Structure 1
Amino acid sequence: MPTSQDMTTPAPVSRGTTPEPPGAPGLLDALQHQVAVFARRAEQTRLGGTGQLRNSMDRAAYLLLNRLDQEGPMGVKALAAGMGIDSSTVTRQVAPLVDTGLVKRTSHPEDGRAVVLQLSPRGQARLEEVRSSRRELMAQVTEGWTEEERQSFCTLLTRFNSALSARQAGLPPADTDPTPTS
């Protein structure tokens, strides 16, 4: 079984004595390896935070609550479209959040037949607890980094995630650096 050192040792980016051109197989191999290691580490820790709140909220719940917090009440279809997932997936993921009182279902103000999902006060408090714990984890993991390094990493990771989203949607990747969002 590989050790954590084996998992994070960078793959060689050059097989010869001359550096490889941008996009060369060695560099892309190293990049895909590090993305795979990151995905594994994120899944193992769920990047859940520190202390008692570590692993206390799954990724789907966090992303749904965060979206409702940032964009306000919305219907299932709008929530699904904004997250790039199917409406049935949102319905399935929201059900336990409603059951535990983190999300409220209310009638749409203009169409009483339509349902709107809204972050409850309990959901807002819980989301802030988890955010705070996750902020602490990010601070610990990047403790030796400068603010410029943190910003650069966040910008590049946001750009990477945006390119993956565009690819999934069948769109060409944007050449601009997006503003980091949650």
Structure 2
Amino acid sequence: MPDSITTPTSALGDELVRVVKLMHVARQRAPRQHPLVDPMAYPLLFTISRGPSRVSELAEAVHADVSTVSRQVSTLVDHGFVSREADPDDGRAQVLAVTTEGEDLLLALRENRERWLQGLLADWSDDDVRSLTTWLARLRGDLEASFTTTTGRTDR
């Protein structure tokens, strides 16, 4: 497509496709923080660290199927990173909470991610990093809203 026809959103779409692909490659090449835990389960651990939640709430928060999340949570529980506790609001149900071992894993994940990003963005100014963070947060918010609204837009 000639550049004269390219719109800002089509250029953005092209860049997003490239970035998503490269992030996928980066994730595949990254060493596992724990040899027995699938890195796809790490977002669950980060989400649970915000506060105890049921598997169904966790699945909704990470936009995944309950059966997939349940399987990944079982692995986290089996390795001692997450515990199952009685739900204080409904004793028949269980909530998930991060254990001390899980907190240690989260800390290591955050440190490794920050070290990687610092190397990747070494030539960026702090203002550029802050701007990217602001724009990504806005894009994430609009993307999440698009899953729950008919307009796909958030109010500003």
Normalising by structure 2, we get a TM-score of: 0.83
Deviation for aligned residue 1:86: 3.4
Which one has a bigger Cα radius of gyration? 1
The one of 118, 122, 127 aligned to 1:148: 127
Counterpart position of 1:80: 59
Structure 1: 4+ residue segments shifted above 4 A: none
CA RMSD of aligned residues (A): 2.4
Counterpart position of 1:60: 40
Separation in 1, partners of 2:74, 2:82: 9
Counterpart position of 1:21: none
Task: Determine if contact 2:32/2:39 at 8 Å carries over to the other structure.
Answer: no
How many pairs were matched up? 152
Deviation for aligned residue 1:132: 0.3
Separation in 1, partners of 2:32, 2:22: 13
Identity between Structure 1 and Structure 2 (%): 30
Give the letter for the 1:44 counterpart. Answer: V
Separation in 2, partners of 1:47, 1:140: 18
Separation in 1, partners of 2:95, 2:29: 28
Task: Determine if contact 1:80/1:90 at 8 Å carries over to the other structure.
Answer: yes
Deviation for aligned residue 1:175: 4.8
Q: Which runs of 5+ in 1 are unaligned?
A: 1-10, 16-23, 177-182
The one of 128, 140, 155 aligned to 2:107: 128
Deviation for aligned residue 1:25: 3.5
Task: Determine if contact 1:46/1:58 at 8 Å carries over to the other structure.
Answer: no
